[in-house]
Amino acid sequence: MLHELWDDGEDGLTFCLAGPPGDGARALLTERARLVWTVEAASHFEAMTLYYEHMGWGTYTTPYPEWDKQTYAAHGWE
């Protein structure tokens, strides 16, 4: 699934799903928000791993690997 990274200036960054699944997150952005990066990922864990790499934050870890490493398709989200 496609993910988007939005920069909303002083209000920070938002990393969310593209399209209708991310509508709720994008609705919270101000008019000054700008789309700065997109990435395809098959799971939440993969998306966050790529996001952390993109930001230079090191290794992403999760307290919920059983859930987060399952593909979006396995969750019925595709």
Which of 20, 27, 67 lies closest to 45, judged by CA?
A: 67
Full-model pTM: 0.92
- Structure token digits, residue 20: 């209708």
DSSP 32: T
* Domain range list for the chain: 2-68
**What string of DSSP letters covers 3-21?**
EEEEE-GGG-EEEEESSGG
- Structure token digits, residue 44: 């939440």
Q: Which residue has the tokens 């019925």?
A: 76
pLDDT per position as a tens digit, 15-70: 999 999 999 999 999 999 999 999 999 999 999 999 999 999 999 999 999 999 99
